[in-house]
Structure 1
């Protein structure tokens, strides 16, 4: 998911046992309650090397993932071994849409502890329990779009809670279970032109089609397209894919999808090809008089796509 991991995270956990005089494993994540120390370079730690010396820098306002995380200074290179702020911004932007899904209340805390770690005398990693609760709550959403939890965030690489680390702060020790009435992730997209075009940019294919039938099996929905369809963006689709178009909605076997309550009209469908299957990412009823949709379809190829990770883009939290 992120193109760069650097050395295995487990190789740098040796320094976490050193005394800090600050029990971060139980400290609240509010900016004013963190004590900042002058940062000393840690290039002496086993298995760790940076081309640039470690420094403390202000978290910039345009680092959207972490600019309001609760503290104002971060270490660079970070704990994912991004050595420049430009690289941090680019890679962190991929995770911003996941925050909008609100899959766990500690998602930002966990991600920013790696992307924008607080400046202390030693690097402080997230506890394994923090990684696990965020993973268990957010991975199903990622999997809905065909993206697994990345190896670079393997929770086994992080220290146990009895070590010096950042523990669960705002959430329970158990994963937050979404309510049964929660709308399917693929059906909660914003019906605004910018949102549609952003999703079009990050989808492999875009199709205007009718739905012939829907089946539920193995915890997902399977949508079969009617014979007549219009391919607005072909992407990696081949002739055999388009001849009988079958789309899968992962983790959507029981959740409600209001768009599918009435199958009488056309739909604007966006998705990606993963593992030989076509996954549905977004679904909109085709409305002829909808100005937002007409604008999005007309200018979809000239829209300046953002760097946001395609799988998480959707409605902003209300």
Structure 2
């Protein structure tokens, strides 16, 4: 979303005649600090304190928002960042403009399953019932095109031994199959990030979008971090063929074939696939 769209949205809301959300506190405007990077580039540079979460200092806000960075990296919903920033770093206007209940609900319904994958639940502090309905002045969500996105799932078996025939069966039975090189990077904090290296090669494209598939796979690795840890155990990169389905706009990986350097079965399967009839 561009800064101009966000600016127009906020100014449009100000022009409304609806009742505003008020936390009953005396507030002040402060610059959004650089440490609060997730709330930059949203069309405004100043926020109000205390915020809508009751935080009164910048260090407190920075500390509390750090807990959400991992979730935002999964891309669980297009408006998750705007939703959270409207609470933690509300725009400095004449009155508070909270998110609408409908925005909370669409973000919650999309992101809560990802939190559950980390053994966390949607917090009571973000109970959607606390936010105003659309007939009040609030930040509403836009209609957007629903694209397939990864989901939290059980880890598929990593197959090191297989025949080209079993690989062909997997290609037939699944919506997509891609060849991808996966690697991990270690941060100074000791945490790992799992990423793709080089281009994603489509064996069977299905409903996947070429420009978004690499990002989608990395989101799947972040959400299913335990699976990524099993697949990428060594510092060197590892090549896999991932086969899966699109189920109600959810991307599910069903089969994982380890593509080894001297492997001939997967090479044969990908060649035969061009003319194979399921």
Question: Which of the five TM-score ranges fits, normalised by the shorter chain?
Answer: 0.5 to 0.7
Question: 2:230 aligns to what?
Answer: 283
Q: Which has the higher helix share?
A: 2
After superposition, residues 59-208 of structure 1 pair within 5 angstroms as 59-169=32-142, 171=144, 176=146, 178-179=148-149, 191-194=184-187, 197-198=190-191
Residues 68, 170 of structure 1: alpha-carbon distance in 2 compared, 3 angstrom cutoff: farther
5+ long unaligned stretches in structure 1: 1-27, 37-44, 201-254, 260-268, 272-279, 293-318
Instruction: Write the deviation string for residues 6-43 of structure 1: whole angstroms up to 9, x where unpaired.
Output: xxxxxxxxxxxxxxxxxxxxxx752476459xxxxxxx
CA–CA distance in structure 2, aligned partners of residues 117 and 60 of structure 1: 13
What is the CA distance between 1:195 and its match in structure 2? 8.3
What is the CA distance between 1:69 and its match in structure 2? 2.2
Contact 1:65 1:93 in 2 (8 A): no
CA–CA distance in structure 2, aligned partners of residues 31 and 91 of structure 1: 25
CA–CA distance in structure 1, aligned partners of residues 88 and 154 of structure 2: 26
What is the CA distance between 1:170 and its match in structure 2? 6.2
Counterpart secondary structure, 1:168:
coil
Residues 186, 132 of structure 1: alpha-carbon distance in 2 compared, 3 angstrom cutoff: farther
What is the CA distance between 1:199 and its match in structure 2? 5.0
CA–CA distance in structure 2, aligned partners of residues 190 and 285 of structure 1: 6
Question: 1:266 aligns to what?
Answer: none
Contact 1:128 1:158 in 2 (8 A): yes
What is the CA distance between 1:67 and its match in structure 2? 1.6
Contact 1:159 1:165 in 2 (8 A): yes
Question: 1:41 aligns to what?
Answer: none
CA–CA distance in structure 2, aligned partners of residues 111 and 190 of structure 1: 30
5+ long unaligned stretches in structure 2: 13-20, 157-180, 194-216, 238-278
Residues 270, 66 of structure 1: alpha-carbon distance in 2 compared, 3 angstrom cutoff: closer
Q: TM-score, normalised by structure 2?
A: 0.52
What is the CA distance between 1:96 and its match in structure 2? 1.7
Counterpart secondary structure, 1:135:
helix
Q: How many residues align?
A: 176
Contact 1:73 1:119 in 2 (8 A): yes
CA–CA distance in structure 2, aligned partners of residues 55 and 30 of structure 1: 22
After superposition, residues 43-62 of structure 1 pair within 5 angstroms as 48-49=24-25, 53-62=26-35
Question: 2:267 aligns to what?
Answer: none
CA–CA distance in structure 2, aligned partners of residues 286 and 159 of structure 1: 47
What is the CA distance between 1:77 and its match in structure 2? 0.9
* Aligned-CA RMSD value: 4.1
